[in-house]
């Protein structure tokens, strides 16, 4: 059988099955199938008859009478989400099912990528994967798309940017909203006409000329559902918030405004949401504060701000901008721990010896006044040269952080120093170059004290939940770091063995950590460093990257420390 004949039979198999499914259980012979497919050629009709017999033998169709066939009605219905391919076909992913259901392009009906659908799964052919057709679109996953508009005399089409969008979107001329031919736009689907090939939509916004940086970034934001602006009523609620701190509220908080306090952030940061404070105690110990902006004081439950923040969930960082969780008045203003301004904070306060031993801790609401804003580079320069602002304080933090880090490593923590890729941007925000951002002592200083705060907060909340006398027992968010997957660990161990490194000791968690840290130390600075670290993180160790609690999570802590007495 020639390749052409094989392709014809494969095509006919799919088309015949579709025709029989649409016949509402009425049996058809090969001539009726050929008519339904608008096929008149005798040779092809003969092939249809032969394919019907093959489909009967494989169990796909059943023969009701001599030469009369209908699709087997032994399939099941599955509800799931459509994951489309670039070719236009798709897979329906269903919870609880171990296999996805394949749906060819013509059987997707009006379903689009991300839609929740009901699928009829055909009787399974031996050795074949599940296949079916969409019988109902339950809910739409997305209605807005970016793309380039083509305008003709009588109508227009938008060709979506996403390769998972299997169709163009028809735009009536009265729904162009000022868009002209060749521009990139955001379009919203408004209708899925029965029997029509394309959905109908309207232009919501003209983004600009394709290829321009601003145009393409806004298109990316639209494709991922990232909001470009805050609703006017949310902005108005944010603008109504005052920078002034009420004296009555200050009186309820531990006042750190007279204590040396500073922030360390990336040079291009606009919002400063964490700060450190330090003071020497009479007994020779250090009182160190880890302060996070008290967002919960301003974003109150039930407000428009709270609902908008809930919907956005987090701030999203793109190459040239941030899509914030809160309006700029809050993110870069009221809740930003800017220098020389009084700010409300949530704090973890520790008494620490010169040997970095924790004597006691306290968690509660505070008010601070940052004395200085450092970039990581500026703080690193102070550490390396011993010169600059707050040199004694920064050097003390650095020394204590290194002792704490060494203790963590000894207990089995993993020493991943992942190199971050950053971009040089021109004045228009367009990337002009790439560079690697290495984690240095100033970065590790901040990381270490954030980790300390994280661990102590977890212990505090855990003990409080066990001891009901200490206050209300409420749910809390924890980050659980899973144990390594044994199979992945074995594969990784074999891989590094071929590179000449000692295999991972998998006899115990301590052995794994120790041998991994030895490997990471030995691979440092070598050509294979990046690939070994990446495989260790993603292919071997699960969730090993520690990050500080962000303000949203710290806001949960507010419930637990609402009644924490001042010291």
Q: Are residues 494 and 518 in the same domain?
A: yes
Task: With beta carbons less than 8 A apart as the criterion, state whether 383 and 395 touch.
Answer: yes
Using one digit for the tens of pLDDT, what is the confidence trace for 515-539? Answer: 888 888 888 878 888 788 777 776 5
Order of strands, sheet of 90-93, starting from the edge strand that comes earlier in the sequence: 101-103, 90-93, 76-84, 116-121, 132-139
Q: Are residues 456 and 499 in the same domain?
A: no
Q: Are residues 444 and 527 in the same domain?
A: no
| Residue at token pair 């509402």 | 24
Rounded to the nearest 5°, which phi and psi values hold at 186? Answer: -110, 125
pLDDT at 424 exceeding the cut of 50: yes
Q: Are residues 269 and 345 in the same domain?
A: yes
Closest CA to 264 of 394, 347, 373: 373
Q: Are strands 260-265 and 372-375 parallel, antiparallel or unpaired?
A: parallel
- Domain annotation covers residue 185: yes
Which residues is 261 bridged to in the sheet? 277
Looking at residues 200-211, what average pLDDT do you find? 93
CA distance 392 to 113: 57
CA distance 249 to 364: 13
pLDDT the model gives residue 245: 95
Closest CA to 48 of 84, 12, 79: 12
* Strand ranges (E), 449-526: none
CA distance 15 to 19: 6
Give the CATH number for residue 15. Answer: 1.10.10.10
Pure H helices in 39-149? 42-58
Please name the helix (run of DSSP H) or strand (run of DSSP E) that holds residue 304, with its range, or none. helix 304-312
Total-model pTM:
0.72
End-to-end CA gap in the chain: 88
CA distance 11 to 344: 68
Please name the helix (run of DSSP H) or strand (run of DSSP E) that holds residue 121, with its range, or none. strand 116-121
pLDDT the model gives residue 565: 64
Task: With beta carbons less than 8 A apart as the criterion, state whether 449 and 289 touch.
Answer: no
- Domain annotation covers residue 554: no
Using one digit for the tens of pLDDT, what is the confidence trace for 338-383? Answer: 999 999 999 999 999 999 999 999 999 999 999 999 999 999 999 9
Q: Are residues 185 and 66 in the same domain?
A: no
Reduced to 3 states, what is the DSSP secondary structure of residue 459? helix
Structure tokens at 243: 């920078």
pLDDT at 549 exceeding the cut of 60: no
Closest CA to 489 of 513, 473, 453: 513
Which range is least confidently modeled, 124-138, 180-194, 347-361? 124-138
Could you list the residue range(s) of the whole structural domain that residue 163 is in? 144-223
Structure tokens at 285: 């110990």
Task: With beta carbons less than 8 A apart as the criterion, state whether 83 and 112 touch.
Answer: no
- Domain annotation covers residue 566: no
Using one digit for the tens of pLDDT, what is the confidence trace for 452-478? Answer: 998 888 888 777 666 666 565 666 666
- Domain annotation covers residue 52: yes
Q: Are residues 428 and 535 in the same domain?
A: no
Q: Are residues 107 and 208 in the same domain?
A: no
Which residues is 63 bridged to in the sheet? 69
Reduced to 3 states, what is the DSSP secondary structure of residue 528? coil
- Domain annotation covers residue 562: no
Handedness of CA 481, 486, 487, 490 (dihedral sign): positive
CA distance 22 to 143: 29
Please give the C-alpha separations between residue 11 and each of 7, 18, 44, 443, in angstroms, as whole numbers.
6, 11, 12, 60
Looking at residues 139-146, what average pLDDT do you find? 90
Q: Are residues 127 and 272 in the same domain?
A: no
Reduced to 3 states, what is the DSSP secondary structure of residue 343? strand
Q: Are residues 374 and 424 in the same domain?
A: yes
Q: Which residues contact 281 (CB under 8 A, 6 or more apart)?
A: 287, 351
Q: Are residues 303 and 441 in the same domain?
A: yes
Point out the domain boundary residue: 406, 428, 461: 461
Using one digit for the tens of pLDDT, what is the confidence trace for 18-54? Answer: 888 777 678 889 898 888 888 888 888 888 989 888 8
Domain count, the chain: 5
Q: Are residues 215 and 325 in the same domain?
A: no
Please name the helix (run of DSSP H) or strand (run of DSSP E) that holds residue 204, with its range, or none. strand 200-208
């Amino acid at each position: 059988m020639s390749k052409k004949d094989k392709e014809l039979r494969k095509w006919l198999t799919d088309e015949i099955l579709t025709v029989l499914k649409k016949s509402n259980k009425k049996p058809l012979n090969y001539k009726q199938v050929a008519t339904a497919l608008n096929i008149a050629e005798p040779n092809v009709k003969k092939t249809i008859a032969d394919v019907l017999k093959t489909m009967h033998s494989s169990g796909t169709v059943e023969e009701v009478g001599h030469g009369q066939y209908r699709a087997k009605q032994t399939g099941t219905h599955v509800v799931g989400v459509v994951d489309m391919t670039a070719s236009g076909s798709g897979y329906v992913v269903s919870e609880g099912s171990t296999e996805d259901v394949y749906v060819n392009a013509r059987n997707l009906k009006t379903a689009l990528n991300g839609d929740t659908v009901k699928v009829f799964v055909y009787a399974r052919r031996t050795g074949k994967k599940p296949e079916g057709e969409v019988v109902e679109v339950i809910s739409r996953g997305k209605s807005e798309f970016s793309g380039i508009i083509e305008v003709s005399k009588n109508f227009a089409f938008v060709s979506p940017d996403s390769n998972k969008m299997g169709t163009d979107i028809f735009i009536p001329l009265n729904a162009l909203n000022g868009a002209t031919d060749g521009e990139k736009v955001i379009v919203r689907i408004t209708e899925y006409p029965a029997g029509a090939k394309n959905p109908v939509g309207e232009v919501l916004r003209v983004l600009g000329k394709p290829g321009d940086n601003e145009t393409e970034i806004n298109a990316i934001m639209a494709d991922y559902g990232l909001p470009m602006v805050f609703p006017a009523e949310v902005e108005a609620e944010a603008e109504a918030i005052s920078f002034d701190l009420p004296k009555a509220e200050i009186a309820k908080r531990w006042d750190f405004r007279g204590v040396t306090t500073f922030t360390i952030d990336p040079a291009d940061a606009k919002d400063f949401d964490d700060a450190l404070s330090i003071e020497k105690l009479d007994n020779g110990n250090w009182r160190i504060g880890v302060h996070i902006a008290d967002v919960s004081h301003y974003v109150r439950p039930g407000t428009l701000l709270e609902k908008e923040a809930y919907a956005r969930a987090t701030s999203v960082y793109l190459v040239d901008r941030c899509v914030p969780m809160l309006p700029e008045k809050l993110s870069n203003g009221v809740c930003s721990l800017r220098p020389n301004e009084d700010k409300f904070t949530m704090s973890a306060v520790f008494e620490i010896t010169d040997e970095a031993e924790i004597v006691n801790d306290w968690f509660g609401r505070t008010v601070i006044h940052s004395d200085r804003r450092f970039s990581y580079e500026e703080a690193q320069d102070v550490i390396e040269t011993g010169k600059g602002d707050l040199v004694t304080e920064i050097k003390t933090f650095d020394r204590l952080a290194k002792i704490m880090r060494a203790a963590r490593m000894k207990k089995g923590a993993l020493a991943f120093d992942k190199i971050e890729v950053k971009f040089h941007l021109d004045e228009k925000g367009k990337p002009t170059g790439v560079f690697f951002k290495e984690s240095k002592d100033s970065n590790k200083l901040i990381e270490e004290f954030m980790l300390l705060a994280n661990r102590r907060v977890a212990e505090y909340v855990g003990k409080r939940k066990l001891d009901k006398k200490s206050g209300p027992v409420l749910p809390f968010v924890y980050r659980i770091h899973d144990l390594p997957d044994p199979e992945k660990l074995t594969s990784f161990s074999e891989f590094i063995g071929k590179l000449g490194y000692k295999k991972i000791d998998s006899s115990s968690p301590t052995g794994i950590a120790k041998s991994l840290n030895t490997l990471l130390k030995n691979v440092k600075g070598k050509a294979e460093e990046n690939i070994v670290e990446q495989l260790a993180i993603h292919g071997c160790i699960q969730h090993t990257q520690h990050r500080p609690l962000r303000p949203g999570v710290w806001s949960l802590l507010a419930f637990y420390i609402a009644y924490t007495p001042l010291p």
